[in-house]
């Protein structure tokens, strides 16, 4: 297996044993990027190859001395271009943003730098993260490494495409309605939206408490390691939780353990239209948990329908964040985003406050629900990856991405942790995601359940993209 395709934990173990060096890995990642990035269009800006190699050489020297800089020393990573960085501008997929570097590194960026990661670039996003596919006026269309005719999802689509293709080993994305989980599902990866405030964020999200920072990685163990790094305290986030008392990596079972878990399985959340192949693979995953010793119960409608409330919350948040754009700037926006700004003007104060009331209600009901269940499982996305450059696949509302991705955003409102991992492939060889949702502060139980499932299908699920060309 190519070094650029290996997991972070495997690579760190190889560094420690001197079987592989950070320079070897940097060369593999740079070679893979040079070969496949033009087909994917996953980057907004890339670190110069000579700078990547110089950082890798410094990391190699530290490993040889037995003094790595931190838990990620020498690991190539990317940052979604919606997260501020002091070295590079943050364009958010827009022609209306500044090309000047940011004033500072966001908390998660600062933490991975401190841990020794090598940031190889910033990855693409739809304009201001407004939709769940990745194309923008600034960078054009990003594509899926499993089939470059298809979308990688969004809004952290460039991040997921880069990791799946071997342009990086992991990435940091944002998730305000599913934006790390959706592309992870479409690209065959693992991603987590942790409990609200678990990973400090700054500046605040345009959609207030629905916005999260989250890791995209290749394995559950890699995700746990990134959580250990990214959950460290940062005073800039007023909503940040105290750092966890225990390491997520240390608490991760070696081979997984799902015995005794109380799992609720909702195939549709009571209203979703799910593609038959997705439904079949997720149903098999639910049965697998039973084989692993969990008690699985079908629950059709575990929580109230969040569609209307989330749409109000999301649209008004984005519109508020862009309220100072001039008419000339609005004219340069993605037409779909410009339409959202117009639609949001019709939202009354009463309607917005009703959406806020719904957020309180769903958060309360989620806590009650998890008194009876440790984990809720659903599909991550209702459909397999579809054509790049489209907002929705055939058979779904062509003006509304929420219809084909109804499983992720309710948990942005409720604030509870949720993660996606691969559960198999369609007949066309495209990855399908399984979503696991836990109680507030329940990252450890999600990691335990996910690791158990991952270990049980490791021989089936860990594949590399085939790079079918458009």
Helices (H), 141-263: 157-165, 181-187, 220-230
Q: Are 414 and 366 in contact (CB under 8 A)?
A: yes
Predicted confidence (pLDDT) per residue in 440-460, tens digit = 999 999 999 999 999 998 765
**DSSP strand E in 164-211: where?**
170-175, 190-193
- Determine the pLDDT at residue 208: 86
Backbone angles phi, psi at 150, to 5 degrees: -110, 160
Residues 6 or more apart whose Cβ sits within 8 Å of residue 12: 71, 72, 75
Between vectors from CA 64 to CA 58 and to CA 66, what angle results, nearest 5°?
A: 105
Measured between alpha carbons, how far is 161 from 241 in angstroms, rounded to an integer?
A: 30
Place of tokens 């799992």: 263
Q: Does the model's pTM come out above 0.85?
A: yes
Between vectors from CA 17 to CA 12 and to CA 18, what angle results, nearest 5°?
A: 95
- Determine the pLDDT at residue 2: 86
- The domain spans of the chain are 3-461
- Determine the pLDDT at residue 465: 76
Q: What do you get for the CA distance between the two ends of the chain, in Å?
A: 25
Count the neighbouring beta carbons within 10 Å of the beta carbon of residue 335.
9
What pairs with residue 421 in β-bridges? 434
- Determine the pLDDT at residue 466: 56
Q: Beta strand pairing status for 212-217 and 190-193?
A: antiparallel
The four Cα atoms 276, 282, 283, 289 give a dihedral, to 10 degrees, of: 170
Q: What is the mean pLDDT of residues 60-65?
A: 98
Backbone angles phi, psi at 213, to 5 degrees: -100, 140
Measured between alpha carbons, how far is 139 from 130 in angstroms, rounded to an integer?
A: 15
- Would you identify the CATH topology of the domain 3-461? Amidase signature (AS) enzymes (3.90.1300)
Predicted confidence (pLDDT) per residue in 137-181, tens digit = 999 999 999 999 999 999 999 999 999 999 999 999 999 999 999
Q: Are 5 and 166 in contact (CB under 8 A)?
A: yes
Predicted confidence (pLDDT) per residue in 407-436, tens digit = 999 999 999 999 999 999 999 999 999 999
pLDDT above 70 covers a percentage of the chain that reads 97
Measured between alpha carbons, how far is 330 from 322 in angstroms, rounded to an integer?
A: 9
3-class DSSP state of 188: coil
C-alpha to C-alpha distances, 183 to 14, 210, 371, 397, 448, nearest whole angstrom: 28, 18, 30, 19, 22
Is the per-residue pLDDT at 25 higher than 80? yes
Is the per-residue pLDDT at 327 higher than 60? yes
The average confidence (pLDDT) of the chain is: 95
Predicted confidence (pLDDT) per residue in 344-375, tens digit = 999 999 999 999 999 999 999 999 999 999 99
Half-sphere exposure (Cβ direction) of 269: Cα atoms closer than 13 Å: 26
Is the per-residue pLDDT at 294 higher than 70? yes
pLDDT above 90 covers a percentage of the chain that reads 94
Is the per-residue pLDDT at 470 higher than 50? no
Annotate 287-310 with DSSP letters as a single string: HHHHHTT-EEEE-S-SS---HHHH
Is the per-residue pLDDT at 273 higher than 50? yes
Measured between alpha carbons, how far is 115 from 172 in angstroms, rounded to an integer?
A: 14
- Determine the pLDDT at residue 37: 96
- Determine the pLDDT at residue 463: 58
Measured between alpha carbons, how far is 69 from 85 in angstroms, rounded to an integer?
A: 20
Q: Are 178 and 134 in contact (CB under 8 A)?
A: no
Place of tokens 């060309």: 469
> Of 405, 408, 420, 411, which is closest to residue 440 (Cα–Cα)?
411
Q: Could you give the residue numbers annotated as active site?
A: 80, 155, 179
Q: Rg of the chain over CA atoms, in angstroms?
A: 20
Q: What is the mean pLDDT of residues 301-305?
A: 97
């Amino acid at each position: 297996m190519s070094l650029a395709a290996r997991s972070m934990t495997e690579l760190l173990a190889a560094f420690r044993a001197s079987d592989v060096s950070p320079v070897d890995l940097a060369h593999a990642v740079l070679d893979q990027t040079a070969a496949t990035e033009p087909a994917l269009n996953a980057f907004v800006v890339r670190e110069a190859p000579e700078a990547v190699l110089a950082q890798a050489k410094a990391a190699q020297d530290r490993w040889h001395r037995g003094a790595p800089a931190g838990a990620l020393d020498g690991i190539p990573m990317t940052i979604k271009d919606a997260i501020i960085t002091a070295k590079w501008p943050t364009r958010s997929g827009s022609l209306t943003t500044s090309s000047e570097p940011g004033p500072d590194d966001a908390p998660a960026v600062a933490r991975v730098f401190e841990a020794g990661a090598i940031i190889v670039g910033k990855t693409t996003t739809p304009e201001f993260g407004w939709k769940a596919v990745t194309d923008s006026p600034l960078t054009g269309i990003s594509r899926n490494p499993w089939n470059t005719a298809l979308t990688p999802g969004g809004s952290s689509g460039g991040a997921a495409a880069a990791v799946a293709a071997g342009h990086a080993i992991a990435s940091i994305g944002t998730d305000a309605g599913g934006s790390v989980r959706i592309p992870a599902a479409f690209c065959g990866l693992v991603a987590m939206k942790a409990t609200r405030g678990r990973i400090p964020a700054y500046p605040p999200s345009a959609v207030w408490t629905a916005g999260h920072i989250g890791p995209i990685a290749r394995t559950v163990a890699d995700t746990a390691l990134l959580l250990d790094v990214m959950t460290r305290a940062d005073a800039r986030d007023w909503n940040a939780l105290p750092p966890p008392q225990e390491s997520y990596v240390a608490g991760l079972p070696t081979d997984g353990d799902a015995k005794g878990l109380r799992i609720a399985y909702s195939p549709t959340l009571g209203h979703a239209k799910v593609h038959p192949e997705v439904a079949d693979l997720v149903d098999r995953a639910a049965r697998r948990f039973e084989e692993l010793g969990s008690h699985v119960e079908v629950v059709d409608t575990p929580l109230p329908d969040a569609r209307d409330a989330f749409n109000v919350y999301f649209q008004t948040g984005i519109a508020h964040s862009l309220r100072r754009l001039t008419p000339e700037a609005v004219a340069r926006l993605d037409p779909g985003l410009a339409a959202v700004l117009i639609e949001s003007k019709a939202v009354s104060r009463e309607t917005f406050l009703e959406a806020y009331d719904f957020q309180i209600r769903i958060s309360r009901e989620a806590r009650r629900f998890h008194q009876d269940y440790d984990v809720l499982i659903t599909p991550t996305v209702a459909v397999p990856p579809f054509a790049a450059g489209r907002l929705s696949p055939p058979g779904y509302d062509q003006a509304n991405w929420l219809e084909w991705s109804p499983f992720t955003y309710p948990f942005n409102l409720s604030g509870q942790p949720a993660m996606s991992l691969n559960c198999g492939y369609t007949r066309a060889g495209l990855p399908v995601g399984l979503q696991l949702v836990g109680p507030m502060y329940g990252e450890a139980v999600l990691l335990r359940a996910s690791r158990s499932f991952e270990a049980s299908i490791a021989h089936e699920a860990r594949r590399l993209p085939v790079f079918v060309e458009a």
